[in-house]
Structure 1
């Protein structure tokens, strides 16, 4: 029988592959080939340029296969040649679109993963409502043919309209009147499931969890802030890891998340779930995802705990016993407000400015000692020069963010404000 090199099969597009590139260098360090499936959303020319540069972490990729769609029907035939040439030991979705095909393939190959059922539920907010009704707000799924005539009782306003299969807050809109409701529903594509939900009140958090063998082995609570108080949108404007919470509130979120993951049936991997915590202590699920969190949340947990998370994610995908430490610092990603106009430059006094959108390179964030003073690590620019900056309708409309960390007992709000004053976003009118 022919010997085939062992490999890990990853799925995701260039933006998330570049952000989590340590997955691939760590895979190669362990003597495994790093195989990647990307969709048509990836610019192959840019990806191949990165792979050809030996100084770029994406040069660690062994083979890349592009598929037209991030779904089971496209992915399974495309990976058949890889499965014949390699002994695939693990399968992992790095980004949201590939969660379902990665989960199904891992199940099919008998490998660790969230499970086909959990992967499917985690890609569909309506299925999540069916799965965990006790953590769900009031909701209605509105078929395409009924959207122009759909009415919501007055007592159900304010409400939220969201496409059930999207991510990164795309298409999510708060509505307070029937006219706003119809307009928001009309913006949902005909082939998409449109959800109308009661607008849950309370502070917003995400809970990241590491799951192995059906058991949650680590949880972290991240405090989120968005622009919901000044707009009809829910664009995330900051993440703080760990959230500064009383232990009772932290435990309520962690235990609710543990029960959600149990009912959804997640077996192995990392999960990212978003919740509202009401003043009365009620925990309401917004959505749960069976993949890495977005933005720089993985880096925030690295700064907070002192250890990178990518080696642990590989352990979970390979079935190696895993653990991860608890935080000993507090870290934050703060998205800076920007003037309107064409982006010309971003400058920061004494803080490194990185443009991952230009070169698909992310800075390396070195964790500090627990008692080290507050440190602004980087300003990350998420747009290209010349992009027109305006209202932050969803995550793609943000421009630059600040990464900072400090001891757990420090005033992180004050430290963030002081660091943000050193940053200037320059636009041409």
Structure 2
């Protein structure tokens, strides 16, 4: 009889993929979550799970003790997560159970950007200069005096999904940016009192590297080109893979990413590394997360390259050889829908039907919901995936579909 798989938090699209993959392989699936999160599980997700256990995931010591005890009770064969906030818990749990996982001594550096900056410096990773900022006054006095080069990035050390991140282009915006980072919402640990970082702004094109590591050996599956909004708050509007880059630039990105993955102790599992490539072709690693990329990047890998990342993640967690050889060489993109104004959503029209070249069309909102311009990734309204054998056709088809979609909003009254 196959031993069960334990997911640290089953909510979310990526966790759903993992749970369905494990169940389809004959594994029963259990989850560790919180009482609040469990209340929001859909009937379909509840029906998929063989068992649930709730604990205080904001209390690391209690969560670790409870998770290890539950894993032993069910005789779990694997413990894994797609939730960035829970990657340290996964590393420590796997270490105590002698299961494939990441280095528990370095796992904090894959979650906390201040610790990550220190680890990058030690490992010689090309990365932006990063400083911890205790107060708005310190931000102004030490770094944002008249004549200093702007813009700069102000962000929380431990949030995710662009929460609390500001591109500061004017001195008078410094205090607001610091408060925005200091009170950024997060999971499990509250929102107030976050460590605030000042980071060097690197001009250039943004990419991410999707990688899987097994027994300390990393395979880079694809480089993803990103399209983001401009201005004070940057929101990802599109992911496209595989990116088309000169071989020398691609090699440089892979080299820096490999150093970053090692620096934060990723030994077994996925990594999602954000990189800026300057106009001269030099890559800077912004950050590395010990998880698969969100925003349907796993779906893009599957549709473009024929690699099933969910099966690969499960194989790695079970200690079995992962199959990472591409089965096809197509191109795929995801485009995100955003609201043109703040108000009440009245309709979304012109959405395509799912089909061979549009395998996913998804709305996260319904008529009557309050909407507004996206300031974080969580503010996006929906998404669609386009796939075809070549990059030009994929881009043209995605642009055509977006032109046909209308997001209708009843603005807030004055």
Q: Would the TM-score normalized by the shorter structure come out above 0.5? A: yes
Q: What is aligned with 2:18?
A: 23
**Counterparts of 1:172 and 1:106, CA distance in 2:** 32
**Aligned with residue 129 of structure 1, among 102, 113, 117:** 117
TM-aligned CA distance change 1:41 to 1:424, over 3 Å? farther
Deviations 1:335-384 (A, max 9, x none): 134332312332335424xxxxxxxxxxxxx8x6xxxxxx2333211234
Aligned-partner SS, 2:392: coil
**Counterparts of 1:135 and 1:269, CA distance in 2:** 23
**CA RMSD across the alignment:** 2.3
Name structure 2 gaps, 5 residues minimum: 184-191
Q: What is aligned with 1:65?
A: 53
The offset of 1:150, in angstroms, is 3.9
Deviations 1:114-159 (A, max 9, x none): 2213321110111111111242212211124854764414333210
TM-aligned CA distance change 1:342 to 1:7, over 3 Å? same
Name structure 1 gaps, 5 residues minimum: 51-55, 353-365, 369-374
The offset of 1:78, in angstroms, is 2.7
Q: TM-score, normalised by structure 2?
A: 0.88
Q: What is aligned with 2:269?
A: 269
For the 8 Å contact 2:33–2:55, the answer to whether it is kept is yes
Number of residue pairs aligned between Structure 1 and Structure 2: 395
For the 8 Å contact 2:136–2:178, the answer to whether it is kept is no
Q: TM-score, normalised by structure 1?
A: 0.85
Aligned-partner SS, 1:88: coil
The offset of 1:177, in angstroms, is 2.6
For the 8 Å contact 1:150–1:182, the answer to whether it is kept is no
The offset of 1:70, in angstroms, is 4.4
**Counterparts of 1:57 and 1:305, CA distance in 2:** 28
Q: What is aligned with 2:6?
A: 9
For the 8 Å contact 2:131–2:199, the answer to whether it is kept is yes
Deviations 1:255-303 (A, max 9, x none): 2111211222211000001010011222111111001211111001111
**Counterparts of 1:349 and 1:391, CA distance in 2:** 20
Farther off after superposition, 182-191 or 315-324 = 182-191
**Aligned with residue 139 of structure 1, among 130, 138, 141:** 130
Deviations 1:168-196 (A, max 9, x none): 00000011232211221123136211100
The offset of 1:95, in angstroms, is 1.1
Deviations 1:32-83 (A, max 9, x none): 32111123551x3442x51xxxxx3652211112223345223223335523
**Counterparts of 1:305 and 1:413, CA distance in 2:** 17
**Aligned with residue 348 of structure 1, among 350, 367, 370:** 350
Q: What is aligned with 1:116?
A: 104
